[in-house]
Amino acid sequence: ERSWEAVEEMRREYERRRNLVWKRLNEIGLPTVKPKGAFYIFPRIKDTGLTSKEFSELMIKEAKVVVVPGSAFGKAGEGYVRISYATAYEKLEEAMNRMEKVLKEKNLI
């Protein structure tokens, strides 16, 4: 029974992380559907005017945040990026803040 408690605790933590990233991305202006499983989220970045590859390169160079271009998952993925929230809550907060700062500085949102 104790092992199930640990599993439930981790599930709650991932839910907390997901909710943070989902909320912040939508606040920033990157529309995102709340995921129901896994630990990835796919915000729509089309309105920035950048391709998913350009967006990913900008994030790694300027915000020091790694996101995967949606185009890496096929043609339908273009216009989106994949973000993992399988890291510490505090790091996710910082990543969202950095992404928002860069997008605002570049007038992309």
For the chain, the structural domain boundaries read 2-105
Dihedral, 13, 8, 5, 1 alpha carbons, nearest 10: -160
Q: Which pLDDT band holds residue 2 (cuts at 50, 70, 90)?
A: confident
Highest CATH level, class, for 2-105: alpha beta
Q: What is the pLDDT of residues 50-104, one digit of tens each?
A: 999 999 999 999 999 999 999 999 999 999 999 999 999 999 999 999 999 999 9
